[in-house]
């Protein structure tokens, strides 16, 4: 690990040097080309020739080309084998190097995190940026690096969108809407309050003469202060995301700070534009209509952004409705439509951030239903990747940009007052607004949360970009403001950002527990929703629940139909979603268990094949029977008691594909193919897996696992429970007869599901002849500890467990022969009977017990899949 | 309605205030609402004469908003005073008292449990859950799905393997559900 760390750090260092060197040569290069262009344009051929001759001495055939293209007096160059064309690729090359650099920083950060776990990542990145910036600054006197990498345009057009897009796409919807009022209050009123207060306070302090030395740089007017106030007052989403993601505070707190930081962009941009416009008009020329126009423009900017975002979101959802046959392009739409929403909003000077957030937000609601699972994963990872990298780059560039020449306009008074006021008014704003909000809110925001909210008011790159955009002609003291802004960013990131975690721990802020909704909870929540709506109706009070239900109804009845390809037939897709999720989790648990080698061979391999089912069929309508399979697998594996028995009893009722599967099984077992031929065709648009090949791969995987398991199994023989060892002897085909005196087992077949559970209690009678104690013990133990080993062991231990037949009553008098009987007796439509295959195969083909069963599982899986499709 | 129907005696008001979690203003508001509902059924002259007006269940059930609510009858049933589902003002007040944010968790849990408990046998079993599920989803799940969800729910809540959820088990499950307290209340 340590050597790896050294290696990575070394790599980073080399890359860093490289990039600096590249940057340097690039600046040199672009300098030269810039000159060429300028000369070409202005003074014509003769002058340009001269300047080129000077630079030509150094290198580059590029110049030769440009020479020959328009030059007349230069000698003809012969054809060259290798030419260097650096200028052409310079910018993308440097940017790529930067992205890689940022990525490696990320890796390196994780390695040093052990030593500096208290410091947030953003701080380290800023520090690194400072170092890089310092070196680059000393090498490169023209500050071209800064201009290339951190100009406001690059920032707003390329770096910022991915971050906010990700934020919008993965925004927790429920808590966002639950706290919408609070968020809007903070974002709109809070930001306006902050901007005005900071601006006017700074101006007052300046007038009182508490900022000595500021006059040297130019005059400071009231509007300048307000402009600066509007820049510095907005909490930065990027900084907030990066810090609050590390400390896991509770959802309400998180969504309040986070939502505020996202939505206050609209306000900040409006205020900025407004004051900028006022400065251009001039303070004395402002009339009433300007102020009214500014207020109107606020609504236009914020709601225009919102409207464009939602519009594009729905457009994107609508497109993905028709991508069934071109799965590969699905993620593109999600990304690009969001981006276009952002750009469109920017065209009209609307709030791009609000636009992209809501575009992503809207899309995530509908697109998830349309795109395939793979595309879903792609979108998810793509978003995370882009956002992560962009975030890293932003912080590093902040550090780089901080090293520049504006520090000579430093004014201590201004900077310190700024820091003081932003902290003060943030605190006042949060406390004051919360006081008002708490009158309306049901779950009050307590003192501690307020403190964290105020303390988490981090400033970031957006403020810096805005302040860099401002022209010195308009605001003479802008350089001082840049200083102050940088200090504010650094202060909030370093001091507040790195102390917020200890403070959160110290104050015992309710942190968010890792909580996944259980099925019961979900059902319960729905019920409560309905009940509360009913109660609200009785009282004649149209509260939150009423509107939520209206919205939901509208969504399911109209919007879903338009924007989702296969809208759930059910009204309650959330319930089904939870259900899917739980199933998935079960499956994942099984995989883990399988990896750990906790379960037996049979079950493990049977499970493994089945595991893959829900992923494939997750979105299809006919998920029920697949869930069924997995469900039962889960039941039999995780708890062996009444549930398992019930599940198996139920399994018998649902046999539709039984004969089909059987026939398929028989056929496929005999027709098993040799290794699949390689598929040599290649199509860019086709990522569908070849069925056979996939199957073979899976099989190999399973085989390997089984082998590993076999070895491990033998090794740990003695550590196992006694049921374990006895079951193993059965597995190896030795003592099957031992279990021939199987217990009498009565399963009442439950056609009428309603009364199933109580009857099953009575229906099962344990009269095990051989080992009743094992059964009892197993049941007991799994009740308390749910040890999977036991359950598996019992699965094999009790033959009746594996033999739910289609008859209503199975009281097996001829149980002695049940093992020798081949597969047909087994009903193979449930998972449990996938396990059933094992014993019969053990008998038929004792040398390779896995093979037969394996084929069967895989074949069955396929046939089932076909059936379902 | 006028002043007569919407006013309660001061002594009653005080008593209500002691028994519930409401302020005087809220009680008055609820009373007004209750009288509005009562007026739908009784002519105003009769209402004046009655000392304890009761709302018959069908009055509440016929409210336009409630018609579509799947749990309307359960709400009326659980919070009504007698077997017929008639609701006095006390019952009416009690209902909102339960949904008040100050009401303790076990009170809320008790009423939530009663809403689930269709057959009133103090246990939530398969049948109860199925009916709940049907109401929630408006029968849009197919049998298998419903079955599976119920199994899952039972599995999660079960502790003593009798395949029914007792109140104790119900409370226990709720204690693991952090959202319960924050959702099961209403602002009057």
Q: Are A696 and A591 in contact (CB under 8 A)?
A: no
Residue located via tokens 């009214």: A292
Mutate to test the interface with B, among A520, A549, A644, A754 (most CBs of B within 10 A): A520
Window from A367-381, A553-567, A674-688 with minimum mean pLDDT: A674-688
Minimal CA separation from A619 to chain B, in Å = 14
Angle between helices A642-651 and A832-844 (to 10 degrees): 80
Q: What angle do CA B176, B179, B182 make, to 5 degrees?
A: 130
* Residues in CB range of A131: below 8 A, 6 or more apart: A399
Residue-level length of chain B: 188
Distance CA A482, CA A488 (A): 10
* Residues in CB range of A534: below 8 A, 6 or more apart: B66, B69, B71, B72, B75
| Interval A222-242 mean pLDDT | 86
Tell me whether residues B115 and A646 touch, CB distance under 8 A.
no
Q: What is the pLDDT of residues A423-462, one digit of tens each?
A: 999 999 999 998 888 887 767 788 888 888 888 888 888 8
Tell me whether residues A758 and B163 touch, CB distance under 8 A.
yes
* Residues in CB range of A58: below 8 A, 6 or more apart: none
Q: What are phi and psi of B88, to 5 degrees?
A: -90, 175
Tell me whether residues A753 and B151 touch, CB distance under 8 A.
no
> What is the model's pLDDT at position A292?
87
Tell me whether residues B136 and A575 touch, CB distance under 8 A.
yes
* Average pLDDT value over all residues in chain A: 66
Per-residue pLDDT at A331 exceeds 80: yes
Tell me whether residues A631 and B112 touch, CB distance under 8 A.
no
Tell me whether residues B179 and A646 touch, CB distance under 8 A.
no
Q: What is the pLDDT of residues A334-349, one digit of tens each?
A: 899 999 999 999 898 8
Per-residue pLDDT at B122 exceeds 60: yes
Chain B residues whose beta carbon lies within 8 Å of the beta carbon of residue A641 = 161
Window from A189-198, A706-715, B84-93, B178-187 with minimum mean pLDDT: A706-715
> What is the model's pLDDT at position A596?
61
Choose among A755, A523, A577: nearest CA to B132: A523
Choose among A30, A96, A147: nearest CA to A393: A96
Per-residue pLDDT at B68 exceeds 60: yes
- Greater model confidence, A808 or B159: B159
Size of interface A-B (CB pairs under 8 A): 174
Q: Which helix (H) or strand (E) segment is B55 a member of?
A: strand B54-55
- Greater model confidence, B61 or B131: B131
> What is the model's pLDDT at position A603?
43
Choose among A665, A671, A667, A694: nearest CA to A860: A665
Structure token digits, residue A388: 């992560």
Q: What is the pLDDT of residues A92-149, one digit of tens each?
A: 887 788 788 888 877 877 777 666 666 777 888 888 888 877 877 777 666 666 666 6
Q: Mean pLDDT: which of A219-233, A396-410, A433-447 is highest?
A: A219-233
Distance CA A831, CA A827 (A): 10
Per-residue pLDDT at A503 exceeds 90: no
Chain B residues whose beta carbon lies within 8 Å of the beta carbon of residue A515 = 178
Closest CB to B99 among A535, A754, A755: A535
Choose among A384, A372, A380, A381: nearest CA to A329: A372
How would residue A308 be classed by pLDDT, with cut points 50, 70 and 90?
Answer: very high
Distance CA A342, CA A355 (A): 6
Tell me whether residues B75 and A538 touch, CB distance under 8 A.
yes
Q: What is the pLDDT of residues B1-39, one digit of tens each?
A: 444 444 667 777 777 777 777 777 777 877 877 777 777
How many CB atoms lie under 10 A from the CB of residue A530?
A: 23
ipTM score for this prediction = 0.73
Structure token digits, residue A497: 């950002």
Residue-level length of chain A: 869
Distance CA B94, CA B111 (A): 11
Minimal CA separation from A374 to chain B, in Å = 25
Chain B residues 2-21 with a CB less than 8 Å from chain A: none
Per-residue pLDDT at A303 exceeds 60: yes
Q: Are A867 and A657 in contact (CB under 8 A)?
A: yes
- Greater model confidence, A76 or A6: A76
Distance CA A679, CA A695 (A): 14
Tell me whether residues B101 and A527 touch, CB distance under 8 A.
no
Q: What is the pLDDT of residues A827-863, one digit of tens each?
A: 334 333 333 334 333 333 334 444 444 444 445 555 5
Q: B20-23: which pairs have CB atoms within 8 A and are 24 or more residues apart? A: B20/B93, B20/B94, B20/B96, B20/B97, B20/B100, B21/B97, B21/B100, B21/B101, B21/B102, B21/B103, B22/B93, B22/B96, B22/B97, B22/B100, B22/B188
Distance CA B76, CA B59 (A): 10
Q: Specify the 3-state DSSP secondary structure of A569.
A: coil
Indicate the pTM of the whole model: 0.60
Q: Which helix (H) or strand (E) segment is A524 a member of?
A: helix A519-539
Does B167 lie at the interface with A, CB-CB under 8 angstroms? no
Tell me whether residues A579 and B129 touch, CB distance under 8 A.
no
The CA-atom distances, in angstroms, between A20 and each of A101, A140, A513 are: 11, 9, 44
Residue located via tokens 């018998």: A652
Chain A residues whose beta carbon lies within 8 Å of the beta carbon of residue B33 = 539-540
Q: What is the pLDDT of residues A591-636, one digit of tens each?
A: 776 666 544 444 444 444 444 444 444 334 344 444 444 444 444 3
Q: List, in sequence order, the alpha helices (H) in A618-731.
A: 623-638, 642-651, 658-670, 691-715, 722-731
What sign results for the dihedral spanned by CA atoms A858, A860, A865, A866? positive
Minimal CA separation from A611 to chain B, in Å = 17
Q: Are B42 and B53 in contact (CB under 8 A)?
A: yes
Window from A305-309, A349-353, B164-168 with minimum mean pLDDT: B164-168
- Closest residue in B to A540 (Cα) is B33
Q: What is the DSSP string of B13-46?
A: HHHHHHHSS--HHHHHHHHHHHHHHHHHHS-HHH
> What is the model's pLDDT at position A410?
81
Distance CA A579, CA A517 (A): 10
> What percent of the residues of chain B are helix, what percent strand, and what percent coil, each to the nearest 5?
65, 5, 35
- Greater model confidence, A372 or A644: A372
Structure token digits, residue A120: 């947030």
Closest CB to A536 among B161, B184, B186: B186
Closest CB to B183 among A528, A624, A625: A528
Q: Which helix (H) or strand (E) segment is B54 a member of?
A: strand B54-55
How would residue B173 be classed by pLDDT, with cut points 50, 70 and 90?
Answer: confident
Mutate to test the interface with B, among A524, A642, A780, A868 (most CBs of B within 10 A): A524
Distance CA A804, CA A790 (A): 20
Q: Mean pLDDT: which of A158-162, A394-398, A671-675 is highest?
A: A158-162
Residue located via tokens 């193919």: A673
Mutate to test the interface with B, among A534, A547, A550, A586 (most CBs of B within 10 A): A534
Distance CA A163, CA A388 (A): 7
Window from A174-183, A387-396, A605-614 with minimum mean pLDDT: A605-614
Distance CA A740, CA B177 (A): 47
Chain B residues 88-127 with a CB less than 8 Å from chain A: 95-96, 99, 101, 112, 115-116, 125-127
- Closest residue in A to B179 (Cα) is A525
Per-residue pLDDT at A256 exceeds 70: yes
Chain B residues whose beta carbon lies within 8 Å of the beta carbon of residue A624 = 142, 144-145, 148
Structure token digits, residue B92: 């009416």
* Residues in CB range of A321: below 8 A, 6 or more apart: A370, A563, A564, A565
Per-residue pLDDT at A166 exceeds 60: yes
Give how far the C-alpha of residue A213 lies from the chain's centroid of Cα atoms, to the nearest Å: 49
> What is the model's pLDDT at position A456?
84
Distance CA A566, CA A101 (A): 43
> What is the model's pLDDT at position A125?
82
Q: Burial code of A618-643, b = ≥16 C-beta within 10 A, e = fewer?
A: bbeeebbbbbbbbbbbbbbbbbbbbb
Tell me whether residues A757 and B163 touch, CB distance under 8 A.
yes
> What is the model's pLDDT at position A683?
53
- Greater model confidence, A284 or A366: A366
Chain B residues 48-87 with a CB less than 8 Å from chain A: 60, 63, 65-66, 69-72, 74-75
Minimal CA separation from A527 to chain B, in Å = 6
Distance CA B178, CA A525 (A): 11
Choose among A217, A208, A231, A206: nearest CA to A152: A231
Tell me whether residues A534 and B66 touch, CB distance under 8 A.
yes
Distance CA A754, CA A651 (A): 15
Minimal CA separation from A757 to chain B, in Å = 6
Tell me whether residues B130 and A639 touch, CB distance under 8 A.
no
> What is the model's pLDDT at position A765?
37
- Closest residue in B to A784 (Cα) is B159
């Amino acid at each position: 690990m340590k050597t790896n760390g050294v290696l990575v750090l070394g790599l980073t260092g080399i890359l860093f040097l490289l990039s600096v060197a590249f940057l340097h040569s690039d600046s040199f290069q672009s300098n030269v080309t810039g000159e060429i262009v300028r000369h070409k344009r202005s003074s014509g051929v003769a002058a340009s020739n001269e300047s080129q001759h000077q630079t030509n001495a150094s290198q580059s055939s590029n110049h030769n080309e440009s020479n020959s293209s328009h030059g007349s007096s230069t000698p003809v160059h012969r054809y060259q084998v290798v030419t260097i064309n650096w200028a052409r690729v310079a910018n993308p090359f440097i940017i790529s190097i930067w992205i890689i650099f940022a990525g490696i920083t990320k890796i390196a950060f994780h390695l040093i995190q052990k030593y500096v776990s208290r410091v947030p990542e953003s701080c380290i990145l800023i520090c690194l940026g400072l170092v890089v910036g310092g070196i680059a600054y000393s090498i490169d006197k023209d500050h071209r690096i800064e201009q290339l990498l951190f100009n406001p345009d690059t920032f707003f057009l390329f770096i910022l969108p991915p971050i906010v897009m990700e934020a919008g796409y993965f925004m927790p919807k429920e808590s966002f809407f639950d706290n919408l009022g609070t968020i809007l209050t903070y974002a709109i009123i809070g930001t306006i309050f902050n901007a005005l207060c900071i601006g006017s306070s700074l101006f007052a302090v300046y007038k009182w003469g508490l900022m000595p030395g500021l006059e040297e740089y130019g005059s400071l007017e009231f509007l300048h202060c307000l402009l600066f106030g509007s820049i510095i007052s907005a909490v930065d989403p990027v900084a907030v995301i990066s810090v609050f993601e590390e400390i896991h505070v509770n959802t309400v707190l998180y969504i309040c700070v986070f939502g505020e930081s996202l939505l206050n962009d609209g306000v900040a941009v409006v205020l900025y534009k407004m004051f900028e416009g006022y400065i251009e008009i001039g303070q004395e020329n402002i009339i009433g209509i300007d102020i009214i126009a500014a207020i109107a423009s606020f609504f236009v900017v914020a709601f225009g952004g919102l409207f464009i975002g939602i519009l594009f979101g729905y457009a994107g959802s609508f497109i993905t409705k028709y991508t069934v046959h071109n799965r590969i392009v699905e993620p593109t739409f999600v990304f690009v439509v969001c981006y276009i929403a952002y750009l469109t909003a920017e065209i009209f000077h609307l709030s791009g951030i609000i636009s992209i957030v809501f575009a992503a937000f809207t899309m995530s609601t509908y697109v998830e239903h349309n795109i395939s699972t793979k595309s879903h994963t792609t979108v998810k990872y793509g978003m995370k990747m882009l956002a992560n990298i962009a975030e890293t780059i932003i912080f590093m560039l902040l550090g780089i940009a901080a090293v520049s020449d504006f520090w000579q306009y430093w004014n201590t008074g201004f900077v310190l007052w700024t820091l003081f006021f932003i902290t003060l008014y943030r605190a006042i704003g949060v406390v004051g607004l919360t006081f008002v909000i708490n009158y309306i809110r049901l779950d009050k925001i307590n003192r501690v949360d307020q403190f964290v909210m105020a303390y988490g008011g981090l400033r970031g790159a957006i403020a810096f970009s805005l302040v860099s955009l401002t022209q010195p002609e308009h605001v003479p003291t802008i350089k001082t403001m840049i200083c102050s802004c940088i200090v504010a960013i650094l202060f909030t990131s370093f001091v507040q950002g790195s102390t917020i975690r200890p403070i959160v721990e110290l104050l015992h802020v309710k942190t968010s527990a890792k909580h996944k909704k259980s099925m019961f909870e979900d059902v319960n929540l729905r019920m409560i929703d309905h009940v509360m709506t009913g109660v609200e109706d009785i009282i004649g009070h149209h509260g939150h629940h009423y509107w939520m239900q209206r919205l939901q109804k509208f969504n399911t009845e109209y919007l879903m139909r338009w924007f989702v390809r296969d809208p759930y037939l059910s009204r309650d897709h959330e319930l089904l979603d939870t259900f899917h999720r739980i199933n998935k989790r079960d499956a994942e648990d099984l995989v883990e268990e399988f990896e750990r080698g906790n379960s037996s061979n049979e079950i493990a391999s049977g499970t493994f094949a089945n595991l893959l089912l829900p992923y494939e069929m997750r979105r299809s309508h006919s998920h029920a029977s697949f869930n069924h399979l997995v469900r039962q697998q889960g039941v039999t594996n995780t708890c062996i008691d009444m549930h398992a028995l019930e599940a198996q009893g139920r399994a018998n009722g649902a046999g539709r594909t039984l004969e089909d599967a059987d026939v398929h099984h028989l056929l496929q077992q005999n027709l098993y193919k040799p290794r699949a031929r390689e598929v040599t065709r290649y199509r860019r648009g086709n990522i569908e897996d070849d069925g056979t090949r996939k199957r073979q791969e899976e099989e190999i995987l399973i085989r390997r696992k089984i082998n590993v398991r076999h070895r491990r199994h033998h090794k740990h023989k003695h550590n196992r429970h006694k049921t374990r060892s006895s079951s193993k002897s059965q597995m190896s085909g030795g003592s099957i007869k031992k279990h021939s005196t199987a217990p009498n087992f009565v399963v009442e077949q439950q056609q009428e599901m309603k009364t199933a559970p109580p009857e099953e209690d009575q229906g099962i009678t344990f009269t095990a002849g051989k080992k009743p104690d094992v059964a009892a013990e197993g049941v007991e133990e799994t009740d308390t500890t749910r040890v999977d080993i036991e359950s598996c062991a019992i699965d094999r231990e009790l033959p009746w467990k594996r033999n739910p037949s289609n008859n209503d009553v199975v009281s097996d008098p001829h149980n002695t022969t049940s093992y020798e009987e081949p597969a047909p007796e087994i009903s193979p439509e449930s998972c449990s009977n996938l396990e059933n295959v094992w014993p019969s195969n053990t008998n038929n083909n004792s040398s390779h017990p896995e093979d037969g069963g394996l084929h069967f599982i895989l074949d069955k899986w396929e046939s089932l899949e076909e059936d379902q499709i | 309605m006028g002043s007569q129907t919407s006013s309660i005696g001061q002594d009653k008001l005080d008593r209500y205030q002691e028994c519930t979690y409401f302020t005087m203003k809220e009680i008055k508001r609820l009373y007004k609402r209750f009288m509005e509902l009562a007026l739908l059924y009784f002519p105003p002259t009769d209402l004046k004469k009655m000392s304890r007006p009761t709302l018959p269940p069908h009055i509440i059930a016929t409210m336009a908003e409630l018609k579509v609510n799947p749990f309307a009858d359960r709400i009326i049933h659980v919070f009504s005073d007698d077997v017929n589902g008639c609701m006095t003002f006390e019952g009416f007040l009690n209902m909102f008292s339960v949904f008040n944010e100050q009401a303790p968790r076990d009170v809320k849990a008790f009423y939530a449990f009663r809403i689930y408990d269709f057959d009133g046998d103090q246990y939530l079993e398969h049948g109860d859950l199925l009916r709940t599920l049907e109401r929630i989803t408006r029968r849009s799940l197919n049998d298998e799905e419903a079955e599976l969800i119920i199994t899952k729910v039972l599995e999660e809540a079960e502790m003593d393997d009798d395949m029914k959820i007792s109140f104790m088990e119900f409370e226990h499950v709720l204690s693991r559900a952090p959202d319960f307290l924050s959702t099961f209340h209403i602002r009057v």
